[in-house]
Chains A and B, each alone.
Chain A
Amino acid sequence: MKQQSNSHKYSGTIRAFTVVGVLLSVICIMAFGIDAGKHTAAPLNLTVKKDSVASVKAFKQVYTVLMSARCMNCHPSGNIPLQGDDSHLHVMSPRRGVDGKGVYAMKCANCHQATNTPGLHTPPGNPNWHLPPASMKMVFQGKTPRQLAQQLVNPKQNGNKDLKKLIEHADDGLVLAGWNPGEGRTLPPISHAAFKKAWITWLTTGAYAPKDK
């Protein structure tokens, strides 16, 4: 697959099969692994210790989060975002637009404020509310774990993020908004701290893409 050849930059070989080797090295993730509440920047001395089993296991958790409504709704397969716990097409069909911030009278920020609007069924808020831009749609919807894993580490599909930036992205404002979704919306299946831990584990153990069943 074409995508695969682009995904070797830092994560070593991403293979279609589950690697059974076990790597026992301890890596330094202490500083950014646990305390998600403070949104501290990731440390720079990253050590990747390949461990395909741990990596795939971690990604399974990551995948449940990314495919939850809170993340997937703004990573739709089409140009209209999704909405609600059932990820239906966003009522009133707002469009992505070139920059991901909507078009004409239907720009995201026309309804989505800097913070959540109080009440049920009101627009959730974030100062930077947007979809991925038209030039790089970063689609989650409909992706298998393998496809999504490959996409996430491919700079041509992930917003030009290298390992460092990917790790930092766990504390991005919009990512965090998934855990502050406004009244009445279901949270992602695990806490942000657990997600962040799984995310970093996945990335720092080789970012292995699970095999599709």
Chain B
Amino acid sequence: MINLNVNQKAYQVDADPNMPLLWVIRDIIGLTGTKYGCGVAQCGACTVHLNGEAVRSCVTRVSRAEGQKVVTIEGLSANNSHPAQVAWNEENVPQCGYCHSGQIMSAAVLLRENPDPSDEDIDAAMAGNICRCGTYLRIRKAIHLAAGLQRKENAS
């Protein structure tokens, strides 16, 4: 049995310690917002927060997450209210939407570490997340918007 804390909820899962965190989250815990895209850390669709860092769950053994704090897209905010989520909606970012759980989880780390990211900072943070629909221009706009929302939130 492996003890996990996902979205502030404790789970005991019966899984091979080598099983990637992705499949534990999806197939065992049943949270399907985290996506399988490539299985080799190329596309970022599986990005979750492990102790706050945007790890690629498809190459992260579940044993690494044991006793650590995992946050998935479902747990990023209670009500789609993280500044990135708000901005994603405001800027009409998703098309097919499949990659955006990962995109938003990456953006959330950027926004935490840099309250006012430049286009270059955004590229540096987001180049690990592939979007085949080509929503990149909107991702960039949404991150700028989210940064503004976050600054307002912090000021008030």
Please list the residues of chain A having a beta carbon within 8 angstroms of any beta carbon in chain B. 91-95, 103-107, 109-111, 113-114, 117, 119, 121-123
Closest to A104 in B: B125
CB of B127, distance to nearest CB on chain A (Å):
5
CB of A100, distance to nearest CB on chain B (Å):
14
- The CA-CA distance from A122 to B129 in the complex, in Å, is 16
Cβ of B110 under 8 Å from chain A: yes
Interface size of B as a range: 20 to 34
- The CA-CA distance from A104 to B123 in the complex, in Å, is 11
For residue A113, which residues in chain B have a CB less than 8 angstroms away from its CB? 59-61, 64
Please list the residues of chain B having a beta carbon within 8 angstroms of any beta carbon in chain A. 40-42, 47, 53-56, 59-61, 64, 105-107, 109-110, 113-114, 121, 123-129
In the complex the two chains form, is A106's CB within 8 Å of B59's CB? Answer: no
Cross-chain contact of A107 among B53, B64, B123 (Cβ < 8 A) = B53
For residue B56, which residues in chain A have a CB less than 8 angstroms away from its CB? 110-111
In the complex the two chains form, is A105's CB within 8 Å of B125's CB? Answer: yes
- The CA-CA distance from A94 to B107 in the complex, in Å, is 15
- The CA-CA distance from A123 to B59 in the complex, in Å, is 8
For residue A92, which residues in chain B have a CB less than 8 angstroms away from its CB? 42, 127-128
Cross-chain contact of A93 among B40, B114, B124 (Cβ < 8 A) = B124
6 A–B contacts from the bound complex (CB under 8 Å): A103-B124, A110-B53, A111-B41, A113-B60, A113-B61, A113-B64
